[in-house]
Structure 1
């Protein structure tokens, strides 16, 4: 079954408490952006702002405290001279260890979109004996600032610490919900107008080890309340050849990672796209998986996307960070403004992992309803319908699905919906993961640039 994403339900309930007084769905729909004309570049509208630091100039432009900018084919930041040592007690193991550390802080970014939500993501290498933390500090219109919120404590492996989000972070005006910083009451007009990111790199004392961060940034957004979105006109007919994996063939496997495959929609989708780009775990990396299990790489993805605080594999930035552990891969969490933008990515060969929630009757042919589920869009039919690799399928052969364009477009892009009890809850408003090679083709770079991602 699809992932139930309990922390998404918590966020939905919090936002629905104020969204329940939203305008009539028909009125709300008129506030959504008009779709771009077919076969033209997607229109930029004031809903989403992406800012990612990844160039040598970017790294030299931030405030380094014990870190250095690393030049080369893939610029980054690394530990130069540690600022000192600090103890960290892992809340999931109880182990306390001492670590050397250094930091890099981004310039303050004024978002083109005064935001109700901000989601950070990062790409990094963390050799054994190293890890990192990503923090975010937002600015309110009155000049006040949030605390430095922890958006993730992360390592590619799980031997030095357990990668984790941090609960109970808020200042009375905004709150971190696992991986999403959200304004508590967006109906009052409060927004986050700017933010900074701080990356802290850790290593075992007395060693020359260092994490290397190649990309860090965030997506800020202010998607209007809407139960429906305007229909877009089809402009792309193409299907990408993407590996097909079912999460349900892993039901009961490794229940320590969110009860097993029934909740693995996110890592299963991530693994499909990692392999689409020609990457996969080595035999040595998969040696821990029971050899009786098919598609052991899906188990691997679940283990290495698992968030020990959230208790699941659906942490959005952790999935992107996992994808970027493979050679020469970039990955971000963002929002798209329209299905037309998604088509522009398919047209240049970039599949998209999307997050959506819906009742069973809202998506013809799915056969299930979900409070939160990830699937991979791999193409569009000649009629404009959506071709998806849906991991909530009984087996790999059944993963490829065709969903009606109008239904799929609405369940993905809306921000409000009615659940099975008739209660207003939130939708994801176009959230997606995008993974692509660190050196994309020129056509891919043009589309990614049009979305503010490179």
Structure 2
């Protein structure tokens, strides 16, 4: 049998504290964005399998799987799928992957990426994540660093400062040897982008006057909850924002058996645990949030993924289609009038609509109570806080009843 060697597995025995945590760096508006996803049987069939088969609309392990790998003291059967090479059509400097997968307690997946430069140089495979639905046997983690050649990993973002033009993903499926543990990958993809200085504030578009009925949850009411998963409060903006969107679609997880007594919104805690990144030591991993949402939306015929939008007119297209958008922002003191916090070097909130004049209606989880989550922010201020901080990063989550509108290339 062939042994599959994984960067993930070579580092698997390191404690989470020993993995460098990359700080999120200010970015600029992506002038070019390209999203590629493989999420149907025909699309997945375009890749190269090794010990995996396309079953229905998912990749599943062959029986027996051809590879072997060790994680801690446990031996796993493994198989791989490698995507075709993708030409972004421009020199990109960042890539963020998304996936939808199903794992049981004795299985996991690993996602890797490599790229090519304009001069033909090819990077090594870099591990983006080792991921599992649960966390009792496999610790969901990223591996920041890997600065050996053309690119490196910064939590959820693969960065190539000199620019790359082509990329390829590889996913490994693993289950405990000798078991029939279920593991499958239903979707895999990535968004690439290249940044330039942001332009003037976008003009209001099709979302004017549309406000979606998204439930309101405050992250601050969870302050001190479960320190092993970030401790609530300021640390839980991403899972709280995601829980609001899942609530809008009727896809919230049930209250867990371990919920704290008297917690009015225990699904926020459940979401925080389900997206926690043990390498990053936080709940703000963009890819992990999208992967969890994708699994929750699948029974509703929907999906979830990370992308980058060029400005608020693209967010308006989604809102007009009934799709709220989670956006990643940062701002200094006085940079976002009416915000419940004076500044932030990284925060997520939900764009739920637009006023008749184009200002942005949001559910901001940083509010001190659920009753004060709904806010209206200046279009110019929010757009700058979003584009300059994260390059327009957004979680797009939708169900079958709310299909994506015509795509500009990033959904």
TM-score (normalizing by structure 1): 0.81
**Matched ranges for 1:7-26 at <5 A:** 9=23, 11-12=25-26
The answer to whether the Cα contact below 8 Å between 2:317 and 2:405 also exists between their aligned partners in 1 is no
**Is 1:217 equivalent to 2:173 in the alignment?**
no
**Is 1:397 equivalent to 2:371 in the alignment?**
yes
CA deviation vs aligned residue, 1:57-98 (integer Å, no higher than 9, x gap): 111110000111122xxx111112311221113xxxxxx211
Show the counterpart of 1:142.
Answer: 119
User: How far apart are residue 440 of structure 1 and its match?
Assistant: 4.8
The answer to whether the Cα contact below 8 Å between 1:333 and 1:434 also exists between their aligned partners in 2 is yes
CA deviation vs aligned residue, 1:285-325 (integer Å, no higher than 9, x gap): x1111223221111111111110010000000000011122
**Is 1:54 equivalent to 2:28 in the alignment?**
no
**Matched ranges for 1:401-416 at <5 A:** 401-414=375-388
CA deviation vs aligned residue, 1:403-441 (integer Å, no higher than 9, x gap): 011111222122xxxxxxxxxxxx21101111112x354
Which of 315, 323, 337 pairs up with 2:293? 323
Q: Report the Cα distance in structure 2 between the residues aligned to 1:11 and 1:362, rounded to whole angstroms.
A: 18
Q: Report the Cα distance in structure 1 between the residues aligned to 2:342 and 2:265, rounded to whole angstroms.
A: 24
Counterpart of 1:264 in 2: which secondary structure? helix
User: How far apart are residue 128 of structure 1 and its match?
Assistant: 2.0
The answer to whether the Cα contact below 8 Å between 1:234 and 1:383 also exists between their aligned partners in 2 is no
Q: Report the Cα distance in structure 1 between the residues aligned to 2:174 and 2:368, rounded to whole angstroms.
A: 42
Q: Report the Cα distance in structure 2 between the residues aligned to 1:173 and 1:204, rounded to whole angstroms.
A: 34
Q: Report the Cα distance in structure 1 between the residues aligned to 2:323 and 2:22, rounded to whole angstroms.
A: 26
Show the counterpart of 1:77.
Answer: 59
**Is 1:176 equivalent to 2:153 in the alignment?**
yes
CA deviation vs aligned residue, 1:199-235 (integer Å, no higher than 9, x gap): 1001111222231111100000002134x53432344
Which region of structure 1 is more displaced relative to structure 2, 194-203 or 121-130?
121-130
Q: Report the Cα distance in structure 1 between the residues aligned to 2:152 and 2:96, rounded to whole angstroms.
A: 12
The answer to whether the Cα contact below 8 Å between 1:103 and 1:201 also exists between their aligned partners in 2 is yes
TM-score (normalizing by structure 2): 0.90
Show the counterpart of 1:388.
Answer: 362
Show the counterpart of 1:106.
Answer: 83
User: How far apart are residue 451 of structure 1 and its match?
Assistant: 3.6
Q: Report the Cα distance in structure 2 between the residues aligned to 1:10 and 1:375, rounded to whole angstroms.
A: 17
Gaps of 5+ in 1: 1-5, 20-31, 34-45, 90-95, 185-189, 415-426
Show the counterpart of 2:15.
Answer: none
Q: Report the Cα distance in structure 2 between the residues aligned to 1:126 and 1:445, rounded to whole angstroms.
A: 27
Which of 422, 428, 431 pairs up with 2:390? 428
Count of aligned residue pairs for this structure pair = 386
User: How far apart are residue 272 of structure 1 and its match?
Assistant: 0.7
Which region of structure 1 is more displaced relative to structure 2, 402-411 or 383-392?
402-411
User: How far apart are residue 159 of structure 1 and its match?
Assistant: 1.6
What RMSD, in angstroms, separates the aligned Cα atoms of the two structures?
Answer: 1.9
Counterpart of 2:23 in 1: which secondary structure? helix
360 and 178 in structure 1: CA distance in 2 versus 1, 3 angstrom threshold:
same
Counterpart of 1:274 in 2: which secondary structure? helix
Q: Report the Cα distance in structure 2 between the residues aligned to 1:239 and 1:10, rounded to whole angstroms.
A: 31
Counterpart of 1:325 in 2: which secondary structure? helix
The answer to whether the Cα contact below 8 Å between 1:229 and 1:410 also exists between their aligned partners in 2 is no
The answer to whether the Cα contact below 8 Å between 1:353 and 1:434 also exists between their aligned partners in 2 is yes
Gaps of 5+ in 2: 1-19
The answer to whether the Cα contact below 8 Å between 1:107 and 1:196 also exists between their aligned partners in 2 is yes
- TM superposition outliers: structure 1 runs of 4+ over 4 Å: none
Which of 284, 292, 298 pairs up with 1:314? 284
**Is 1:300 equivalent to 2:278 in the alignment?**
no
The answer to whether the Cα contact below 8 Å between 1:156 and 1:325 also exists between their aligned partners in 2 is no
